[in-house]
């Protein structure tokens, strides 16, 4: 190999590196790219553009776009399509060199990705700290998007809804697509987020173009004689005992033998007043109560209070530990 050819190969390699860096730096505001470790094994798809060069044959150099069928059909003098979908640029380079070997002796072909257009960003919304668009250069699981979005907020319900806008382009060999209709777009996949379980069902792969919604729970209000009156958000199997614990537990003067839950009831104007013995629940004598969205939990003061009890009650009011429902604040 002569010095001119070595220099040319070095220049092409340098151009490829600069191209990757330029794409990384040109991410639009509000977008994030999952690390570029996947670029090396990037699988091509429809819409990607390849810069094809044949050394010593400048008339064969071309920018070739992969068509909707996953093939390259625009290379000079090649009538037969070159398969490109789900292949790496190195694999396509070998296929093009083999095709040109019919016309050229030992063709030296270079292929690099000029544009990556086959993977629209996934959209992460809902109860996360940083909703964003995430561009994925490789296959990415749900937990990676969650980490990139800063984790979930206290409003997270525990359920993730994934709306597929594109069919799975490059499934792994032998992989079974979980949704029977996953080959069509617009399908909604619901996932209970239990990452510690180690099961794939709780941490699925996210496709390019997916809309990933970390759903917000409906509010539940805990007020009255608790340490920290607050608004909490509905999660699976949220109970009365857990809700009071999340509000800091009852105060010493609280009437825990009769805790009220105000609950909306179908067909009735107003709210139904339900009463439960929190002491019995805490001691395991009564079954804990499953809460419903928009329940209002009222922990009242004991009926008979001494002068000392009244003093403590008034001091607690002055500290703001009692009172009306907490205000809701939003920062946009």
Q: What is the pLDDT of residues 262-282, one digit of tens each?
A: 998 876 667 889 999 999 999
> For residue 247, how far is the Cα from the chain centroid?
29
Instruction: Give the closest residue to 66 by CA, choosing from 183, 170, 152, 218.
Output: 170
Position with higher pLDDT, 253 vs 36: 253
Strand partners, 232: 220
* Residue 198: per-residue pLDDT: 55
**At the top level of CATH, which class does the domain 122-216 belong to?**
alpha beta
In contact, 134 and 33? CB cutoff 8 Å: yes
Position with higher pLDDT, 268 vs 312: 268
**Domain locations in the chain?**
3-29+39-115, 122-216, 219-318
122-216 and 219-318: identical CATH topology: yes
- Residue 56: pLDDT over 70: yes
- Residue 160: pLDDT over 70: yes
Position with higher pLDDT, 189 vs 120: 120
- Residue 173: pLDDT over 50: yes
CATH of 3-29+39-115, one of 3.30.1950.10, 3.40.1280.10, 3.40.50.620, 3.60.15.10: 3.30.1950.10
For the question of whether the overall pTM of this predicted structure is more than 0.75, the answer is no
For the domain spanning 219-318, the CATH number is 3.10.560.10
In contact, 211 and 163? CB cutoff 8 Å: yes
Report H helices in the chain.
3-25, 89-100, 142-148, 240-246, 278-282, 307-318
- Residue 63: pLDDT over 90: yes
């Amino acid at each position: 190999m002569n010095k001119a050819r070595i220099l040319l190969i070095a220049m092409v390699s340098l151009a490829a590196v600069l191209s990757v860096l330029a794409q990384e730096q040109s991410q639009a505001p509000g977008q994030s790219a999952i690390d570029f470790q996947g670029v090396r094994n990037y699988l091509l798809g429809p819409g990607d553009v390849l810069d094809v060069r044949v050394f010593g044959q400048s008339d064969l150099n071309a920018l070739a776009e992969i068509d909707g069928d996953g093939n390259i059909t625009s290379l000079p003098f090649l009538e037969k399509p070159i398969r490109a979908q789900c292949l790496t640029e190195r694999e396509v380079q070998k296929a093009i060199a083999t095709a040109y070997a019919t016309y050229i002796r030992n063709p030296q072909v270079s292929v690099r990705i000029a544009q990556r257009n086959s993977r629209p960003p996934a959209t992460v919304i809902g109860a996360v700290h940083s909703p964003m668009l995430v561009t994925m250069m490789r296959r990415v699981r749900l937990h990676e998007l969650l980490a990139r979005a800063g984790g979930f907020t206290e409003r997270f319900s525990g359920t993730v809804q994934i709306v597929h806008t594109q069919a799975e382009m490059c499934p792994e060999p032998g992989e079974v697509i979980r949704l029977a209709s996953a080959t069509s777009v617009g399908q909604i996949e619901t996932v209970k987020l239990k990452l510690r379980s180690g099961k794939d069902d709780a941490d699925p792969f996210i496709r390019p173009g997916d809309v990933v919604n970390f759903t917000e729970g409906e509010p539940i209000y805990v007020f009255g004689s608790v340490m920290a009156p607050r608004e909490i958000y509905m999660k699976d199997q949220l109970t009365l005992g857990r809700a009071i614990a999340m509000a800091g537990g009852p105060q010493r003067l609280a009437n825990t033998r009769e805790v009220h839950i105000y609950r909306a009831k179908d067909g009735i104007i107003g709210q139904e007043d339900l009463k439960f013995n929190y002491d019995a629940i805490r001691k395991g004598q009564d079954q804990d109560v499953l809460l419903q969205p928009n329940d209002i939990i009222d922990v009242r003061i004991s009926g008979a209070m001494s002068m000392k009890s009244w003093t403590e009650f008034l001091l607690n009011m002055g500290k703001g530990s009692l009172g009306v429902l907490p205000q809701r604040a939003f920062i946009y």
